Structure 1
Amino acid sequence: MKQYEVYRHIRGRALIFGLPVAFFALQMLAVIGSLMAVIFSFDLVLLFGAMMANGILYGFLLKWAQRPELLPMGNVFPQMISNKKITFNETYDELA
Structure 2
Amino acid sequence: MKKYEVYRHIRRRALVFGLPVSLFVLQMLAVIGSLITVIFSFHLVLLFGATMANGILYGLLIKWGQQPEKLKMGTVFPKMISNKKITLNETYDELS
What one-letter code is carried by the residue in structure 2 that aligns with 1:61? Answer: L
Identity %: 72
Provide the TM-score with structure 2 as the length reference.
0.67
Residue 74 (structure 1) shift: 2.5
Give CA-to-partner distance per residue, 1:5-39, whole Å, 9 cap, x none.
xx6x4531110000010000000000000000000
Residue 78 (structure 1) shift: 5.7
Equivalences for residues 10-89 of structure 1 within 5 A: 11-77=11-77
SS at match of 1:74: coil
State the Cα RMSD in Å: 2.6
Residue 68 (structure 1) shift: 1.8
**Which has the larger Rg?**
1
> What is the CA–CA distance in structure 1 between the aligned matches of 2:26 and 2:15, rounded to whole Å?
13
* Structure 2 residue ranges without an equivalent (≥5): 1-7, 86-96
Moved >4 Å (runs of 4+)? none
* Structure 1 residue ranges without an equivalent (≥5): 1-6, 88-96
